[in-house]
Amino acid sequence: MTYSIANAEHEIQAKCNTLNLRWYPRYHLAARAGWMNDPNGLVWFDGWYHAFYQHHPYSNQWGPMHWGHARSKDLVHWEHLPVAIAPEGPEDRDGCFSGSAVVNGDILALIYTGHKYHGETANEDELFQVQCLATSRDGIHFERQGIIVDTPPGVHHFRDPKVWREGDYWYLVVGARMGDTGEVRLYCSEDLHQWHEEGVLDKAESGMGFMWECPDLFTLNDKRVLMFSPQGLAAAGFRNRNLFQSGYIIGDWQPGLPFIRTSEFAEMDYGHDFYAPQSFLTPDGRRIVIGWLDMWESPLPEQQDGWAGMLSLPRELSLSDDNRLQMCPVKEMESLRQNWFSWPARALKNEQISVLDEAESVEVILNWKGALSTAEQYGISLGKGLRVYMDIQMQRLVLERYYPQYALCGVRSVTINPDNDLSLRLYIDRSSVEVFINNGEACLSSRIYPDAGDRELRLFAWNGSALLSESGAWQLE
Q: Which of the residues 38, 273, 391, 429 is marked catalytic?
A: 38
Q: How many CA atoms lie within 13 A of 204 on its CB side?
A: 24
Rg of the chain over Cα atoms, rounded to whole angstroms, equals: 22
Find, among 180, 234, 173, the residue nearest to 204 by Cα. 180
Active site residue 357: no
- The 3-class secondary structure across the chain, one letter per residue, is CCCCHHHHHHHHHHHHHHCCCCCCCCCCCECCCEEEEEEEEEEEECCEEEEEEEEECCCCCCCCCEEEEEEECCCCCEEEEEEEECCCCCCCCCCEEEEEEEEECCEEEEEEEEEEECCCCCCHHHEEEEEEEEEECCCCCCEEEEEEECCCCCCCCEEEEEEEEECCEEEEEEEEEECCEEEEEEEEECCCCCEEEEEEEEECCCCCCCEEEEEEEEEECCEEEEEEEEECCCCECCECCCCECCEEEEEECCCCCCCEECCCCEECCCCCCCEEEEEEECCCCCEEEEEECCCCCCCCHHHHHCEECEECCCEEEEECCCCCEEEEECHHHHHHEEEEEECCCCEEEEEEEEEECCCCCEEEEEEECHHHCCCCEEEEEECCCEEEEEECCCCEEEEEEEEHHHCEEEEEEEECCCCCCEEEEEEEECCEEEEEECCCCEEEEEECCCCCCCCCEEEEEEEEEEEEEEEEEEEEC
Separation in Å, CA 196 to CA 188, 189, 373: 5, 6, 59
Residues that are catalytic: 38
